[in-house]
Amino acid sequence: MRLRPFALRLLVALWLLAAAGAAAAAQRALLVGVSELPNQPASLWLQAPRNDVMLMRDTLQRQGFAPADIMVLADGVAGAALPDSQAIQQALQRLLAQSASGDFVLLYFSGHGTRLRDPAKRYQEPDGLAENFLARDVRGTVGAGGQLAGSVRDVDVDAWVQAFLARNVFVWAVFDTCSAASMTRGLRAAPPVAEGSGDDEVRWRGVRVDQLVAAPGPAEPAAPVPPASPAMPRARYVAFFASESHQVTPELRLPRDSRAGRPQGLLTWAVAETLQRRPGSWRQLYNGVLSLYAPVIGELEGRFPERELPSPVAEGNLDAPLFANPAEPLSTQPAWPAQRAGERLAADAGALDGLEAQQPVRVSAVLADGTVREAGARLEAVATANAQLAVPAALRDVPGSALWSVTPLQPPRAALLRVRADRPLPPGISLAWPVSVQAVGEGEADVRLVDAGRGGARLEALQPDLPPAAAADAPALRRRIELLAQLKWFSQLAQLGQGSRIEGFEAVLETWEGERLLRSDPLPLAPGWAPPAPGQRLALLVRNASGQSVDLVVLAADAEGALRSLYPEQAGATNRFERGTAQAPALKRFAVPDAPQGGRLLVVASPASPHSAPRLFGLQASEPMADLRVRGQPRPEKEHPLLAASVRWGTAAR
C-alpha cells in the first residue's frame, strides 16, 4: 500500500514524538517501609511504615510520577515485595541500571534505625557510631566486621547515592527513621517503643542494638555491592532526615484534628501535606515541613516532657528546582523562611548567611492552595542570625496561614571579590551563595589580573588578607579566583565572630611530632602562635559539650590554591555537628593537610536552632558554570553565640 504525503508526514511526526518521549528524562522512586520485624519481639514492631509508603506513592502520582516507575518494598502493602536487606540492595541495583543522565530518583526509607560501632567505616562519626536502617530480616547479631545482620548501612546507602550522581541523576533521599544515638550513650534502661493511650498511641522509631534479640538463621546470601564511583559534587542531591543523630522520631495518628487520621511517620506526613502547596524548590518544601512540625511537637512536649523530640535535618542543594534535573548548571539562590507578626516579617537568616541592611529582597507568600504571591522589599535591620523587614504593601492582605520566605536579589559586598582586569575573566567561574566575583576598572580592588606574556596571565593580591598568586593558565586562574573569593568571605566571617565564644564548645589546634602531642592551642589563637616546624603536623580537635548541636564548617587551604573541606567532608553534606554533653562530649579530630609552603585553616561554628535549615556559611555544592555574581555587607550582632577563626602560616600568611 502506498502512503499519501500527508499520511507519511503524520507517521514521521508520531514516530519523532514517540522517540522524544522514550528519550525524555524519567522520574523514578524506591519506597521502603518496614513495619514488622519477624525475628524480633512484637513490642519493637511499628504500625506506620506501611501507611507511609502508600501515602508517598499516592503523593508522587499526584506529582506526575508514573505508577510503573514507583517501586515499593513494604510489608502489609498489596503487591509489594518484602523489605528484606538483600531485596533492598537488589532494588537499588535495578533502579541504578534503569537510570540515565538527566533522570530523577527518590530513595525513601521508613522504619527503625539504630547506631553501632563499625570499625570498617572510613569516616568515623563524632560519637564513634554508624547508622543502620533495620530491614525486615534484622536478626540482632553483629558480625566481626561490625555488620548488623539484616540491616542496610549508611556507607552502603551513600555508595548508591554516589553511583546515581556519577550518572548525572538527581537524587532525593528521605529517611523517616532515627538512629537513636543518645540511647547508646548511657546505661539506663531503654525507653518504651510505644507510649500513650491505645486510641492515640505514639511509637518511637529507633532502637538500641542491645534491644534486638540475636535470632539464629542461615548465612545471608551475598547482596549486590554498590559500584565504585568517583566522589561527585552534590549539586544534584537533596536529603531529608526525620531527626538529628541523637534523637528519636514519632509515628502517631495524623492529621491530629481528623477522626480519619491513621498512624503516619511525622516527616512523611509533613512532606505529603507540603507537596500539596506545589513548592518550587527543595528549600520551600523543607520550610513547609518545618512549619507543620511546630504544633505536633508542641503537643508531644506536653505529653512527654522528659523526652527530647526530633528536629529534622536537610542537606544538599536545597535551592534547586523540585523534581527536576535540568541540563543547565544548578545555581544556589537561597530562599529563607520568615514569620509574620502584624505588619512585620522576621527572616531566619542574617549576616552569617550573607544579608545586609537595605539589601533588596523578594518576599514570597505561598497560600494553602499553592498560589504564590510575591513582592519586592528591602531589609531594614540585619543581626547575626536574623533580619527584619516590613510586609510589602502588596502582600498585607495575605492570610496568616501562608508560608512566607525571603530571597535576596544581590549578595553582600563583603563576599564580592573585586578583580581589576584589562581582559575578560576566565570562563566557568563557579561560586555558591554568598560568594561572588566582579571585574572592576580603576579604583578599589582586591586582586589585579595582568598579562604575563605569551597569552598567560598573573594574579596579584592587593589586600593583605589574600595570599599572593603566580602566573597561570585559564583553568588555573579560574580555580585561583574561586579560592580567593571564598577566602575573602570566610575572612569576613572570622571578623564577625572575633572574640565570640560558644559555651561548652571548643576547637583546639594541636601540633604533633610523630605520635607525640607537642602543644594544644584553643581557637581563636593567642598572639605569638608558632607555626609547625619541619617534621611536625597540625590537627584540629573539635569538642562539643554544649548540650546542643552545632552548625560547623572547617576548611583548609594551601599556598598553591587548593581548598579542602574537612567538615563537612563533602560540600553539600549536612554540617550539623552532633550534640554532646559535659558527661559525654561529641569529639572529632581532623588531620590538617600538610602545606609546606604555607597554609590556612578556617573554622566557623554556631549553635543550631531546632527545626531550622542547615547553616553552611557559604560552603555549598556547586558545579562548573553555576556562577552567581551579586553584592552586600554584613552587620554583626555580637550577642549571637559564634566561633569563627582564621589561622595562617608560611606563604599564605603574607
Per-position DSSP letters for 364-422, written without gaps between them: EEE-TTS-EEEEEEE--EE-SS-EEEEPPGGGTTS-TTSEEEEEESS--GGGEEEEEES
The residue assigned the cell 530571597 is 407
Residue 30 pairs in a beta bridge with 71, 107
- Give the integer Cα–Cα distance in Å for 263 and 203: 9
Q: Is the pTM of this model over 0.95?
A: no
The predicted pLDDT at position 154 comes to 82
Q: Please give the domain boundaries of the chain with CATH numbers for all domains.
A: 25-316 (3.40.50.1460), 336-408 (2.40.10), 413-484 (no CATH), 495-653 (no CATH)
Ordered mean pLDDT values, 10 residues apiece, the chain (654 residues): 42 41 76 95 94 98 96 95 95 96 96 73 57 88 74 86 94 85 37 79 85 78 78 83 87 91 96 92 90 92 88 86 82 80 91 91 88 93 92 92 88 85 79 84 82 74 70 76 85 79 93 94 88 92 93 85 81 81 91 85 87 71 42 39 83 48
**Could you tell me which of 381, 454, 443 has the C-alpha nearest to residue 418?**
443
**Could you tell me which of 63, 73, 1, 185 has the C-alpha nearest to residue 586?**
185
CB 129 within 8 A of CB 115: yes
Question: Please, which residues have CB within 8 angstroms of residue 212's CB and are 6 or more apart in sequence?
Answer: 40, 44, 114, 138, 139, 140
Q: What are phi and psi of 150, to 5 degrees?
A: 80, 30
The long-range contacts involving 566-569, CB below 8 angstroms and separated by at least 24 positions, are 566/540, 566/590, 566/592, 567/542, 568/315, 568/619, 569/123
One-letter amino acid of 263: P
The predicted pLDDT at position 308 comes to 83
One-letter amino acid of 545: A
Q: Which three cell numbers stand for residue 111?
A: 522504619
Task: Kindly state the helix (H) or strand (E) to which residue 573 belongs, with its residue range.
Answer: none
The residue assigned the cell 560540600 is 571
- Give the integer Cα–Cα distance in Å for 462 and 468: 9
The predicted pLDDT at position 614 comes to 72
The residue assigned the cell 589563637 is 525
How far lies 497's CA from each of 385, 602, 606, in Å?
12, 12, 10
CB 202 within 8 A of CB 135: no
**Could you tell me which of 462, 497, 541, 165 has the C-alpha nearest to residue 350?**
497
**Could you tell me which of 621, 617, 591, 404 has the C-alpha nearest to residue 512?**
591
- Give the integer Cα–Cα distance in Å for 303 and 494: 42
**Could you tell me which of 183, 447, 405 has the C-alpha nearest to residue 308?**
183
CB 644 within 8 A of CB 493: yes
The predicted pLDDT at position 395 comes to 96
* 14 CB-contact burial (10 Å; exposed 0-12 / middle 13-18 / buried 19+): exposed
The residue assigned the cell 505529653 is 303
Q: What is the dihedral sign for C-alpha 50, 54, 59, 63?
A: positive
Query: How many H helices and E strands in the chain?
Result: 7, 34
